[in-house]
Amino acid sequence: MTAAVVPLTPEERRRIEARFDAIPLAQTLGVRLTRLERGECDLELADRRDLDGIFACLHGGILATLADSAVAFAMLTLAGPESRLTTIEFNIRFLAPCRETVVARSRVVKAGKTLLTGEVDLVGKSTGTRFAVSGLTYMRLRSTTT
């Protein structure tokens, strides 16, 4: 039996969305937060040729950045909107060249007291093609008080 998922409160959603909106890199790249649920987050990046690498497809580093960011926001839905987290382990497997709008569909696999583990599928918005899969582990950082 699985436990019922508690929906995000409007205040939690507002605070997490505000954190996302404050990220300069997300604004520069044009990343959009398209879905935010407890333990899940989707980020979307429009098809842009100015972000291609040498093989006329979206640069793998951009896909990796998208995966890392998506799962971080999924984790904030469980750890709390103001939580301080850091990536401690990251892997990505590239499966196909990306030449369309991409969606990073992330989900938290486990949220422990110290470590949080997640997975991300990077898929084409129109074709559903899996461009990459990623696994990440984050660590909760202690709050700093002054």
Q: pTM of the full predicted structure?
A: 0.93
Question: How many alpha carbons fall within 13 Å on the CB side of residue 93?
Answer: 6
List all residues 6 or more positions away from 31 whose beta carbon is below 8 Å from its beta carbon: 25, 43, 44, 45, 66, 69
pLDDT, averaged per 10 consecutive residues of the chain (146 residues), comes to 80 98 97 98 97 95 98 98 98 98 98 98 98 98 73
> Which residue carries 């007291």 as its tokens?
113
> Is residue 66 left, alpha or beta, with left meaning phi > 0 and alpha meaning psi from -120 to 50?
alpha
DSSP state of 145: -
Look at the chain and count its residues.
146
CA 36 to chain CA centroid, Å, is: 10
pLDDT of residue 145: 60
pLDDT of residue 4: 74
In what side-by-side order are the strands of the sheet with 115-124?
A: 32-37, 40-45, 102-111, 115-124, 130-140, 85-94
pLDDT of residue 2: 53
pLDDT of residue 5: 83
